Structures are given as structure tokens and as C-alpha cells.
Structure 1
Amino acid sequence: MYSLGELAETLDVILSGDPQCRVSGLATLATAGPDQLSFLANDKYLRQLHGTRAAAVILRPAQAAQCPVACLQAEDPYLAFARATALFAPAARPAAGIHPTAVVSAQAQVDESAAIGPQAVVEAGSCIAAGVVIGAHVSIGENCSIGAGCQLHAHAVLYRGVRLGRQCIIHSHAVLGADGFGYAPTTEGWVKIHQLGGVWLGDRVEVGAGTTIDRGALDDTVIEDGAIIDNLVQIAHNCHIGKNTAIAGCTGLAGSTTIGANCTLAGGVGVVGHVEICDNVHITGMTMVTKSISQAGSYSSGTPMSTTREWRRNAVRFAQLDRIQQRLSALEKSTKN
């Protein structure tokens, strides 16, 4: 538990209320009890503030007068909330050492402070740095490098030659380093192009559950420092993702896509291969990116939801656009004459 005074000092925010009041966890405005901390970062939930039972609420200074309980005033309440979650997250860490059921090659290097869980496999030539936590049934292929403080959750898979920087998090069933989808066509079928590159992740990269990052054909597939990748994302061979870029679930990147720094790709985005997206680009959900983007900004494609009746009408009109354009052009020519 933390006192509100301790939280105010740790989060570098201004407290209005009893500094000795103690809280045991975090909860939403609607569900928080008298020993819990909540937050208000979206005005959509302002109406819930008036009835909250929380011990205290993180909010903007301009909202403090409306708060019926103690408050922690922050210029960016969402950021303060994010930092508070680290204080209340379960901190249990397995003891250092190798579980007796794990299979670790004699040719692997494992720091004595690392923890390797049940049934995990570490193959020859791989290097496991200080403070690494490898969960149950994780498979690490030959010649991989796992930087200090990384955590690999149960059933994550690293093929040969994958390199992780420091403090990366790889969630369950993520697969890093599988072959890219490369084949040469012949009249008799497909000839496999063997993928000779690897996968390289910088520091503090997080990869969600079930995400796949394919190895490069010749050069490496690269994910730079601070990038965050959601669940069920497909990153094909030789993609290059810039620093602090965020990619949401069910997005698919075709081969040799380059994405700059500080970009966001919302859920379900598709990107064709061999395109380049510059820094500070924001792509909304379900957008299909078919060409390179050279100017920062927000981009969208597709049509938003409407009633089925409206959608059917618009679908018919869409099919009529070419004919309408031809008639419009003819009309413009006739008026000029």
C-alpha cells in the first residue's frame, strides 16, 4: 500500500487531500472503493467523477474543484496513471537459476542472475544476459542473444540468430525469426527462397501475444528502440520499424516495409510491401496503405460504419461513379462550348 503523500511525491503531482490516506490499488471511477486510486483522463467519464467512491482521483488541475474526494493533480493524468500502474503491478520474479526440467545447451552462456523456467530450451551459442526471465516452454534457437532484463513469457519462440536488446518483453506464443514468405515461381510450382537474415530488436521493445516477426531474406528484420507491438500482428521479412512506433492488433506489414519513428498504426491496418512511411505518421484503423507516405500526418482509407440500408445504397453509387464522372466531363465540355 501507498499513502497519497508517497504517491504525490513519486508521481510528481500535486495532492489535495490527506497525505496519510493509504490506497491498495487502482480501479475505474465507477468501480473504485474507498481504498483505491482512480483517474480521469477522458472528459467522456466526467459524469462518473461526481459519484466515485475512490480514495483519490488523478485528474487535471482544472477539474480539481469538481472532485468530491482527494485528488492528485497532473498536467497529463493518463501519463501519471500509467506510472502509477507500475507501483501496483505484481512484482514477483522467479528465483535466479535453471529449472531442472529446462534443456540448456552446454555451449550456451547463461548469466547466473537469469531465471529459466520449466521445459524451456536454450540451444547452442545463445547468450542470456543478466536479469533475464525465460518462462515455461520458451524455445530459444541457436546463436540468439537476449539482452539484460528481458522477459520472455511462456511458449514464446525465438528461431536461430534472433537478437534482443535490453529490457524487451516478449509475450506468449509470439514467434520471432520464422522464415519470411519468399518463393520463386516456376511452371512446376514454387521454389523456396531460404531466409538467411535474422531479427534484431532494440531496447525496450514489447511484442504482444501471438505476434509473428519474420527473419530477413538477406539483411535483418529490424525493430528499433521503444517500439510497441500489439497481439496478433504480422511483420514480414526485412521490415524496418522506427523508434517508439506503436502497432495495434491484427495489423499486417508485407515484406520490406519501412516505417519511421513515432508512428502509430491502429488495429487492422494493412501495408503493402516495399513502401516507406516517414516519421510521425498516424494511420487509422482498417486503413489499407498502398503507397509510400512522405509527409507526417494522419491517414485513413475505407468507409466508416453506417446502417446496412445506407451502406447498400452507397455501394451502388460507388459502382456508378465512373459513369457519373463521364457525364460530368461531357457536361463541362458542352458548357465551355
Structure 2
Amino acid sequence: MLSTSLGRLAAQYGCELIGDPSVSITSVATLRSASSGDLSFYANSVYRKDLLHTKATAVIIRSENIQDCPSNALISKDPYLTYALIASEIHPSPVIIAGVHPSAVIADSADIGTDVQISPNATICEQVVLHTGVFVGPGVVVGPACTVGSGSRLLANSVLVENVTLGERNIIHSGAIIGADGFGNAKSQSGWVKVPQLAGVRIGNDVEIGANSTVDKGSIDDTVIGDGVRIDNLVQIGHNVKVGSHTAIASSAAIAGSAIIGERCMLAGQVGVVGHVNICDDVVVSGATVVSKNIKVPGLYSGSFPGEKDKDWKRKVARFRRIEKFEERVRMLENQMISDD
């Protein structure tokens, strides 16, 4: 954790400063929990009451909200983005402590770069390449023929199964499994026949994959995750999927095999994407929506029902079930009107 002056932060991040530039910022906190030395941010009107009563030393805020700020302020067009940048400076990632723990198992054919930290009970298999500054957490398994780019971090108990290529500065969170077999099965008269999954996974630079998420290897062609992609916890990426650069996928989403998702897309929680579907660039899909056909035009797509009182929901479902009967009655009335004419 670093300490810095508010004036330096304003200059560094292009903010207008209202208040005392000499005050020290030592940490970040929410508006409600902040105290002396803390920096907070205001980006959602839901938290206006918290803003009015905050004890933060300074708040990152838009100019139109400055009248509600009781403390020093950094004026920003995008307070949340500015907060993210400053928080990353004040609370940087842990420093790599180069070395190999005695309990780690490393194959003779593995190529270990400089300034690499390999933690207790990690396993590094044959033909693995770990580039400069890689962190391998406790219990991590890096399977055969995997490559991990410079500055990437594999957190505790994550697994690269086989033939996985990670770019630079990636973060793979605990329990994530990259490169397991995809769900490939051919049906025969006697049951299911497993389809060999022969390809791998290619992940670009600056990608983050959340805890307990899975990215399956391709069946023939690689599964591909582009640069800057963000994947939340508990997300399933099927075999042969292609995810474009800077797309974000929220928790509990599931992308079926061979789907293609464009660049700069946002998929909210519990979104389902049917196999072999193509989604163009700059698409936003709202929570619990199922994408069952190609999306060719950028924009916001929704298909879920918001929650409501149980009795209201059941009343609407009952009406929905009577739609066919209503259609028949309308059709009969139309035919009767035609015959009367």
C-alpha cells in the first residue's frame, strides 16, 4: 500500500482538484466506510446519501455532483475508471519473489524464465515454458506443452491442462481450469462415442479469468480468447469458441461450442449463447437472456423476465397459456365477419 498526495494524483490522472493538494491518500474505501486518508468515488445516484455523509479525505466525482461533496474532490468525467486506475497504483499486485519452493515438481524439459515464483505443491509438466516474471501459486498445475507469457499470474489451484498458450500479464484465478476436453460426443445405436478433443486454447494479453471458470480446448481448431477479455467467476466457455478482444462476460454465463463473440461485447450474468451462433462487435446482452440466433447489428439485446410477486407472475402465466384459445376465437370471429360480408 502506497501513500501519495492528492495534488499528485490530480496531475497524474488529469483531474481538476477542488480542495487541499497536500493531503495524503493512503487507501481507498466506499463512501460509507471511508475515514481519514481514504479516497472514494461517486458514480451512482443510489449512493447520494452516503456521499453527503462520507468521511473520506477525497472523493472522485463528476462536476455536476460537486455541490453534494463534503470533502476534497477530484473532478473526473468517468469517476469509476479514475478510481480503478488510482486504486491499482495505491494497492499494486504483490511483488514476485523469485524462486522455486522445495515441494514443487518441475519436469526436466520445462523452460523456466527469470524472476519466476513457483509456490508450494505446484506442478510444472513436460515442454512447459514460463516466461519472465510469472507467478505460479500453490497447487497450480501447468500441464504438458503449455506456455505462460511474461508477468502472468496463475493463482492457487488453477489448472492449465494441456496445450494452452497464455499471453502476457494475464490473471487466472483460483480453481479456473483452462484446456480441459470440450463436450464432444457422437451418438451411436449403442450409446455415446467420445469425439477426441485434439486442439488447444490460445489466450491473448491482459486477460483475466475468474475463479472456477472453465475454458475448454478445441476439438480440431483452438479455442481463442482475445486481448483484454474479462471473464467472471463460474463461466463456461465451450470448445472452439472465439471471444473477441475486450469483451466482458459476467458470472454464470455459458457459451456453447463453436460460438463466435465479437469485440467489445458485454454479456451479463446467466446469459446463454447457443452453439455455432455468431455475435457481432459491440453487442450488450442483458442478464439471463438466451442468444439462439446470430446477432448482426450492434446494440442492447434482452429476453429475460424481471422478478415480480409470485401471484402476479402466476396470473400472467395463466393468461399466456390461454393465448391459443384466444387466437382460435379471434380466427372464428374473423371468418364469421368475412362470411357475413
262-271 or 315-324, which deviates more: 315-324
Distance 1:331 1:292 in 2: 38
The aligned amino acid for 1:31 is S
Q: CA deviation at 1:81?
A: 0.8
State the SS of the aligned residue for 2:175.
coil
Report the counterpart of residue 187 of structure 2 in structure 1: 185
Unpaired segments ≥5 residues, structure 2: none
Question: SS of the counterpart of 2:322?
Answer: helix
SS of the residue 2:59 aligns to: strand
Superposed, 1:124-273 pairs within 5 Å as 124-273=126-275
Alpha-carbon distance between aligned partners in 2 of 1:209 and 1:44, rounded to the nearest angstrom: 29
1:113 to partner: Cα distance: 1.4
Q: Which residue of 2 aligns with 1:4?
A: 6
Count of residue pairs the alignment pairs up: 337
AA of the residue aligned to 1:112: T
Q: CA deviation at 1:21?
A: 0.5
* 1:59-138 equivalence runs, <5 A: 59-138=61-140
Q: Deviations over 1:42-68 (max 9, x none)?
A: 122122222111111100112223321
Which residue does the alignment assign to 1:284?
A: 286
Alignment correspondent of 1:45? 47
Q: In the aligned structure 2, how far is the partner of 1:39 from the partner of 1:189?
A: 58
Q: Which moved more, 1:91-100 or 1:220-229?
A: 91-100
Matching residue's letter, 1:277: I
AA aligned to 2:135 is V
Shift of 1:206: 0.6
Q: CA offsets, 1:98-155, max 9 Å, x none?
A: 2221111110101021111111111111110011111111001111111111000010
Aligned to 1:331: 333
The alpha-carbon deviation at position 90 of structure 1 amounts to 4.7
Please say if residues 97 and 112 of structure 1, whose CA atoms lie closer than 8 Å, have aligned partners that are also in contact.
no
Q: Deviations over 1:172-200 (max 9, x none)?
A: 01000000011111121111111001001
Q: Distance in 2 between the 1:223 and 1:96 partners?
A: 28
Q: What's the CA shift for 1:328?
A: 2.6
Shift in Å at residue 82 of structure 1? 1.0
Secondary structure of 2:270's aligned partner: coil
The answer as to whether partners of 2:229 and 2:247 remain within 8 angstroms in 1 is yes
Q: Indicate which of 27, 30, 55 corresponds to 1:28.
A: 30
Q: TM-score scaled by structure 1? A: 0.97
Percent sequence identity over matched residues? 43
Task: State how far apart, in whole Å, the 2-side matches of 1:306 and 1:332 are.
Answer: 36
Cα displacement string for residues 21-78 of structure 1 (whole angstroms, at most 9, x for unaligned residues): 1121111111111221111011221222221111111001122233211100001111
Which residue of the partner structure matches residue 299 of structure 1? 301
Letter in 1 for 2:245: K
Residues 204 and 106 (structure 1), Cα distance of their counterparts in 2 relative to 1, 3 Å cut: same
One-letter amino acid of the structure 2 residue matched with residue 32 of structure 1: A
Residue range with higher mean Cα deviation, 219-228 or 11-20: 11-20
Q: Distance in 1 between matches of 2:318 and 2:258?
A: 36
CA distance in 1: counterparts of 2:300 and 2:332, whole angstroms: 35
Deviation string for 1:270-301 (max 9, x for gaps)? 11111111111111111111111111111111
Aligned to 2:321: 319
Q: Tell me, which stretches of 5 or more residues in structure 1 are unaligned?
A: none
Q: Distance in 1 between matches of 2:272 and 2:94?
A: 38
Whole-angstrom CA distance in 2 between matches of 1:262 and 1:326: 45
